Chains A and B, each alone.
Chain A
Amino acid sequence: MEDCSMHLTAQDLTLVRDGWSLAADGIFCEGVHIVTGPVGSGKTTLASALAGIFAPASGQIVRNGITRLTLSMQFPEYHVTGFLVRDEVRSWDLPVEETLNTAGLGGRGDAKTLTLSRGELKRLHLTCLFRGAWDAVILDEPFAGLDCREKHRVCAAIEEKNHPVTIIFTHEQAVLPAADFIWEIVDHALVCRGSVPDAIPAWTGAPRYLTHALAAGACPENIRLRDAEEALCRMHA
């Protein structure tokens, strides 16, 4: 993996929970990292450990140049501290109307935050989080509970790269953002597949559109559906 000044390092990490364990060793440097693995493989535990809220059994997490780090948990309810939607936005020190409009919740400032649907709450939470000045953002299943349109909106926000290090833990198979690095959790260990696009053929948990494109002999430049489509078009052209 290339050198970078700002990075998050999992150093000989062993995570243990209820008789289950996960080994992780690697450097998350600047860029967008996708970490995939089946449900129950330890994505949430690893995300929590990298965020510093789950103590590893051994090894350590080293933050190099990273002072502001946050984690978006899978369930947005946990992050709620404002009774009303406008209070919730204020709790992130953000302008209310502008943020609500960005989240597609314009005029809902007086609604009770926890009466929003799971999808709306996730939208609000991610909008607030993305607008923060973070050095590193860890997203645990950011696409869960979102419709296709919102997933694309989240992908666009990630691709803006407003935060130097973005680590996405997901098992999403349909809508993904452009990524710089691919990681997988395989047999209780975190495996780095390398940088995109070279890592794509080695990615065992790749979405079907990518495996289909690879099987057809195409070479997608990134991991989005449109990258696979463009690669197929280039090949046929």
Chain B
Amino acid sequence: MPILVFTNLLKSVAHRFAILLYLVFALFPLYWLLKIAVTPDKLLYSEGVKLWPSDFTWLNFELVFTQSEFPTFFINSAIVSSATAVITTVIAAAAGYAFCRFKFRGKLIISGLLLITQMFPLVMVLAPIYKIMAPLGLTNSLLGLVIIYTAFNVPFAVFLMQSFFDSIPRDLEESAMVEGCTRFTALYKVIVPLTLPGLAATLGFVFTAAWSEMLFALMLISDSSVSTFPVGLLNFVSKFAVQWGQMMAAGVLALIPACIFFVFIQRYLVQGLTAGAVKG
């Protein structure tokens, strides 16, 4: 018995230690980002490699808010990401529902198509999209970004929503339809309230993806009044190569929405994928 207790104890300790390593690995870069953001400029290079700065300052954050264009970038990113998240989720919910509940011709082909779109090198469509968007006046516009981001996020969002719908029994819609609902009303009154976690997860996932997107934003947007975060930050790098503190402060601010969203929805992602995994 004592040996069993000892090995179990050893296993627990090893387990905790391993988790600690992962945690440190995951959080260290974020800590570093924060550290640079709060280090006063004059100490930046001399204390560059210290783990803990000797002096704190919120000055960088202040400057970012008041003296740079970051508030604009933040707002633009927020608009684009929220709009994309909402539109994508609605479209994906409808398509995911169709895949889940209906048998129809071409089902296999269409789902194959969705899979293939994941494969296209993004870079391959950069050029054509630029050439198509330019005459339509959609370059340098938030609307253009929303359209593109929606299209690219739909396939995976459909996969997610389909998983979530799979876990809801068919009887519920059928019962509602017998009781007087059309299929659409049944969907809206009965099914959707039950998939709220799924909707939240999809919203969060798409929001995070749109928030980080860089290539298309870089390619299509050159006017800083409509820049999103990635574009703004990178332009910052080239224009003001020495203001690291401010840049990192901006980075920390950029981080917050994405991280908050993601922290809340990751649980639903695991839940939803588990349900889908059971169905195979």
Instruction: Please indicate whether A and B come from the same complex rather than being unrelated chains.
Output: no
